[in-house]
Amino acid sequence: MSDIEEKLKQQFDIVETISRYTTLKLKDSHYWGCCPFHKDLKPSMSVNPKQGTFKCFACGVNGDVITFFANITQQNRKDIIDILSN
């Protein structure tokens, strides 16, 4: 994990970021929402604010806030890091 990636993960809160694309609800220590990456009818995506990670239990997409930005904008990880850090 590079310094830039660490910085971006601090700068972009994962719950706040994913909330722009789907409604998240807190349940126990995780947030749950409908996955924006497949046609989700019930909340299949879990967000772990402590670890800064997300995972969809239906389509399997998972990662950190940088992966989320990369997937939602259809960029690769390297390009989205360049975009976000500028």
* Residue nearer to Zn ion on the CB measure, 15 or 59: 59
In the set 14, 24, 34, 56, which binds Zn ion (CB under 5 A)?
A: 56
Choice from 49, 53, 55, 59 touching Zn ion (CB under 5 A): 59
Listed residue (63, 85, 10, 13) closest to 45, CA to CA:
63
Binding residue count for Zn ion, defined by CB under 5 A: 6
CB of 37 to Zn ion, least distance (A): 5
Q: Site for Zn ion (CB under 5 A): which residue of 9, 38, 55, 77?
A: 38
35 lines the binding site for Zn ion (CB under 5 A): yes
CA 66 vs. chain centroid, Å, equals: 7
